[in-house]
Amino acid sequence: MRAAVVTGASDGIGAACAQALLAAGWQVALLARRQAALEAVAGGHPQALTVVCDVTDPAAVEAAFDAVVARFGRVDFLFNNAGIFTPAGLIDEIDLADWTQSVAVNMTGMFLCARAAFARMRRQTPQGGRILMNGSIAAQSPRWGSVCYTATKHAVTGLTKQLSLDGRPFSIAVGQIDIGNARTGLLQAHLDRMKALDPDAPETPVIEVSTVAETVVHLAGLPLGANAQWMTLMATTMPLIGRG
Q: Which positions are catalytic?
A: 149
Radius of gyration, CA atoms only, the chain:
18
Q: Which of helix, strand or coil describes residue 215?
A: helix
Is residue 37 within 8 Å of 10, Cβ to Cβ?
yes
Q: Per DSSP, what are the bridge partners of residue 177? A: 134, 231
Long-range contacts of 216-222 (CB under 8 A, 24+ apart): 216/17, 216/20, 216/21, 216/79, 216/132, 216/177, 217/17, 217/20, 217/21, 217/24, 219/130, 219/132, 219/175, 219/177, 220/4, 220/21, 220/26, 220/77, 220/79, 220/130, 220/132, 221/24, 222/130, 222/173
Contacting residues for 182 by C-beta, under 8 A, at least 6 apart: 12, 13, 206, 207, 208, 209, 211, 212
